[in-house]
Amino acid sequence: MRKAMRSRQSIQIDLFPFLSILACTIGSLILLIIVLTSEIIGSQKQVTIVAKSDNGLNHSKQPRYIECQADGVILHPDQIFVTSSLLESEFSPLGILLEKIDPSQEYLIVVVRPDGIDTFKRVRSLIEGRGIDIGYEPLDKDWKLNIKSEAKN
């Protein structure tokens, strides 16, 4: 008779402890996502570019800096803006800069913003056409550029 009563009783499973652990895990993950996204959104990175060669600082040539954007270029450190329509002009500030550069003493570092790739292609062809050495660095649109000049020894 006891066997008959045992088989009629069903086994009950309580899922409350499992669900509470699952809810805590989901809450922790949501908090982590919120913290990470607020860090990404709230921070503007400032980038400093220092010209270096494979052996350390570049002492043989002096760098000049150009920043490519969608609507033109900025010549650093003077912050002179040249529109896209004037890029190929010999009388624009960019044309004058390219004319003044001595390829044996100087080279150009071009900073490329995400929207300035087409401008970079045009500027690169101008620079390479004059036999000037070029280096380039992609830079995110929200990052600020800080040009650090190294004193020659």
How is the chain split into domains, by residue range? Answer: 14-43, 46-147
Task: Determine the pLDDT at residue 151.
Answer: 44
The candidate with the shortest Cα–Cα distance to 116, out of 95, 146, 77, 87, is 87
Gap between the Cα atoms of 136 and 29, Å rounded: 39
- pLDDT at position 30 is 96
Reported as a pLDDT band with limits 50, 70 and 90, residue 153 is very low
The predicted-structure confidence for 95-137, as pLDDT tens digits, reads as follows 999 999 988 888 899 999 999 999 999 999 999 998 998 888 8
Question: Would the pLDDT of 53 be above 60?
Answer: no
CB atoms inside a 10 Å sphere around CB 103:
13
| Cβ burial, residue 46 (10 Å; 0-12/13-18/19+) | exposed
Q: Examine the pLDDT at 28 and tell me if it is beyond 90.
A: yes
Residues 6+ apart with CB under 8 A from 76: 64, 65, 66, 67, 145, 147
Confidence of residue 58 (pLDDT cuts 50, 70, 90): low
Q: Which helix (H) or strand (E) holds 53?
A: strand 52-53
